[in-house]
């Protein structure tokens, strides 16, 4: 068999289409601040840089966005999102079959997300994925989150993997930047939440369906 890898996944926009629940939570928080809602298609492209960045971008759609306003919206955002973590969030097509194949091939799987760790664990549990991942690290699991490479290294370490035998799978510039800084190959999905064309992110490969992942990974698996 080929040498096993640590395969480090981003969560929002990569494994799971969390857009509906994140949109509802953002718009709930904006409403408590007297602001109008942001359309779902716009919210998708604001995700991937952490909840505070999302709130800041949501506020900017309708006027002033200050750190104080963002902090004022944080409790409503987290309370609502925590209570509706998987109402409308669904795995992207082919994800679960791909995870099964990778695990059967002996690879070690982990999640490195800019979600708070508690919400990431709650989402993973709600999807019944608790057994699939050797580690789930959020932005608050580490001193500095993605694009800092330390978030990636800490995820590999927590999963019991080897830093030089890992690949990152993500959807945003934060993922590509973090993986590159950590010295990892990086594959991006073309169906995620990126706010710019995925071909311009500088990844080693782009996949448009999880059926393409095994073939894309082959180049990092010397026999």
Can you say which residues are annotated as belonging to the binding site for Mg(2+)?
10, 12, 171
10 a catalytic residue: yes
Site for ligand PGA (CB under 6 A): which residue of 19, 48, 149, 185? 48
The 3 state secondary structure assigned to 8-31 is EECCECCCEECHHHHHHHHHHHHH
Here's the x/- map for ligand PGA, 165-184, by CB under 6 A: it reads as: -------x------------
Which tokens sit at 16? Answer: 């799971």
| Residue 213 CB neighbour total at 10 angstroms | 21
Residues belonging to the binding site are 10, 12, 171
Stretch of 20-28, 103-111, 117-125, 171-179 lying at the interface with Mg ion (CB under 5 A): 171-179
Largest CA distance in the chain: 59
Q: Which helix (H) or strand (E) holds 116?
A: none
Comparison of 118 and 218: residue with beta carbon closer to ligand PGA? 118
Rounded Cα gap, residues 193 and 48, in angstroms? 7
Comparison of 189 and 217: residue with beta carbon closer to Mg ion? 189
Q: Are 135 and 111 in contact (CB under 8 A)?
A: yes
**Beta strand 16-17 pairing with 90-91:** antiparallel
Under rule CB under 6 A, residue 127 binds ligand PGA: no
Query: What residue ranges bind ligand PGA (CB under 6 A)?
Result: 10-13, 47-51, 113-115, 172
Which residues contribute to the site for Mg ion (CB under 5 A)? Answer: 10, 12-13, 48, 171-172
């Amino acid at each position: 068999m080929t040498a096993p890898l640590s395969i480090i996944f981003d969560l929002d926009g990569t494994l799971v289409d969390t857009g509906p629940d994140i949109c509802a939570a953002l718009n709930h928080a904006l409403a408590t601040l007297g602001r109008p809602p942001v359309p779902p298609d716009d919210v998708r492209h604001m995700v991937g840089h952490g909840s505070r960045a999302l709130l800041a971008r949501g506020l900017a759609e309708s006027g002033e966005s200050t750190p104080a306003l963002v902090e004022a919206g944080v409790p409503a955002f987290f309370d609502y999102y925590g209570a509706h973590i998987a109402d409308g969030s669904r795995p992207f097509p082919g994800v679960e079959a791909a995870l099964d194949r990778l695990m059967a091939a002996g690879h070690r799987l982990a999640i490195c997300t800019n979600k708070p760790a508690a919400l990431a664990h709650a989402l993973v549990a709600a999807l019944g994925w608790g057994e699939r991942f050797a580690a789930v690290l959020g932005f608050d699991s580490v001193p500095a989150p993605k694009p800092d490479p330390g978030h990636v290294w800490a995820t590999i370490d927590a999963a019991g993997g080897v830093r030089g035998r890992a690949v990152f799978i993500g959807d945003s510039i934060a993922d590509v930047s973090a993986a590159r800084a950590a010295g990892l190959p990086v594959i991006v999905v073309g169906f995620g939440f990126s706010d710019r064309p995925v071909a311009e992110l500088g990844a080693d490969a782009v996949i448009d369906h999880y059926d393409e992942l095994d073939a894309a990974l082959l180049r990092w698996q010397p026999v």
